[in-house]
Amino acid sequence: MSDKKIHFKIITPEKIVFEDDVDSITASGVNGSFGVLPDHIAFMSTLSVDVAKTIKDGKEYTFSIIGGAFQFKNNEAIILTEVAENGNDIDTARAQLAKERAEARLNTAENQREVKIANAALARAMARLKAASK
């Protein structure tokens, strides 16, 4: 395995959620999932509501990412997003309740706007649960 690392940051408007040198990153772009290792070609992607994972010295870290942008260049990666949470910090009971509320709203939605709002809430809750379960 290479000794090269990627300097990785996850930033929200409120704080830096994560910053460290890591071995790899996987995330979900709007066009599909992608992975990055050191010396990857430079690229950018719009992120979907899902989980980003990173591995550092054999340990996996997961984060719920609520959309945003990913950029990689010269072994530096950054995720800029409105909301991100470390999977270890997520209250799973609260996320489960949010999922159930979103499913109930989806079942009682009366128009496309309500369906869209409920689907967005459900996606956020599912991303949080997925990050917390890793």
Per-domain residue ranges for the chain? 6-87, 90-133
How far is the C-alpha of 125 from the C-alpha of 89, rounded, in Å? Answer: 14
Residue 118 zone, left/alpha/beta (φ > 0; ψ -120 to 50; rest):
alpha
pLDDT in tens, 31-77: 999 999 999 999 999 999 999 999 999 999 999 999 999 999 999 99
pLDDT in tens, 73-120: 999 999 999 999 999 999 899 999 999 999 999 898 889 999 998 988
Amino acid, single-letter form, for residue 18:
F
CATH class of the domain at 6-87: mainly beta
CATH class of the domain at 90-133: mainly alpha
Q: In degrees rounded to 5, what are phi and psi of residue 119? A: -65, -40
Q: Which class for 89: exposed (0-12), middle (13-18), buried (19 or more C-beta within 10 A)?
A: exposed
Q: DSSP alpha helices (H): ranges in 1-134?
A: 92-108, 112-133
How far is the C-alpha of 9 from the C-alpha of 21, rounded, in Å? Answer: 9
CB atoms closer than 10 angstroms to residue 2: 8
Same fold, 6-87 and 90-133: no
